[in-house]
Amino acid sequence: MRQIILDTETTGLSAENGDRIIELGCVELLHRKLTGNNLHFYFNPERDSHEDALRVHGISNEFLRDKPKFVEVVEEFLQYIEGAEVIIHNAAFDVSFLNKELELAGKAAFKSFVGSVTDTLVMAKEMFPGKRNSLDALCDRLGVDNSGRTLHGALLDAELLADVYINLTRGQDALLMDVQDNTNQSDNLERMDLSVFDLPVLMANEQELNEHEGVLTQIDKSSSGKTVWKVLSSAVA
């Protein structure tokens, strides 16, 4: 499975109001492993960045003057992403800018070139409701070293997001194991009789039960009453 982690930096916040992409960074994963086949461009956006944007990415207008325009490398970009699952943090933002750049280049919308788009911000909000889920916050929470991120940069952020994504989906590793290999190996495994062990059952105390109930209440509120445990409890009652 080919996956592309993608990030952009822009002149501002609104593609519809004329802001443009100034940097594009892509990192390739094959079977959840980094390949080193990355794609990275700086672009001449033909306009200056807003002051707020400059404070975020630190890419000066002068630096971008001699860089290629998006339309000049659009074919290379489309060939690179073709058919892949593209993973983006806050995908709606980046996709809106990519759509505008592709429109200006006379191309179809971004999603028509890729297999699918996965938004890690949506994933994180579902996994950590009520918590901060920025890229920096996720790096801290998941133990990803982001000490080199003093300013935003598309390629650096894509590399960090690749680590974050692997950590967010680590439980999926088992789904990628080779079934045939497992079948062959199972014949050589020594089976253990668990009946010889006397395993104690540790019951939750009142404080732990109350804390558990509090977590379920928070999840239930964030999911608009769709928490499975709450629904099952109500059905039993």
Contact 33, 114 (CB under 8 A): no
- Long-range contacts of 148-154, Cβ-Cβ distance < 8 Å, separation of 24 or more: 151/56, 151/57, 151/58, 152/9, 152/56, 152/57, 152/58, 153/9, 153/23, 153/25, 153/57, 154/7, 154/8, 154/9, 154/23, 154/24, 154/25, 154/40
Q: Are strands 21-30 and 39-42 parallel, antiparallel or unpaired?
A: antiparallel
What tokens appear for 235 in the block?
A: 């059905």
152 is catalytic: yes
Choice among 40, 50, 152, 212 that is catalytic: 152
How many other C-beta atoms lie within 10 A of the C-beta of residue 76? Answer: 10
Contact 106, 78 (CB under 8 A): no
What's at 62, amino acid-wise?
E
Q: Which residues carry out catalysis?
A: 152
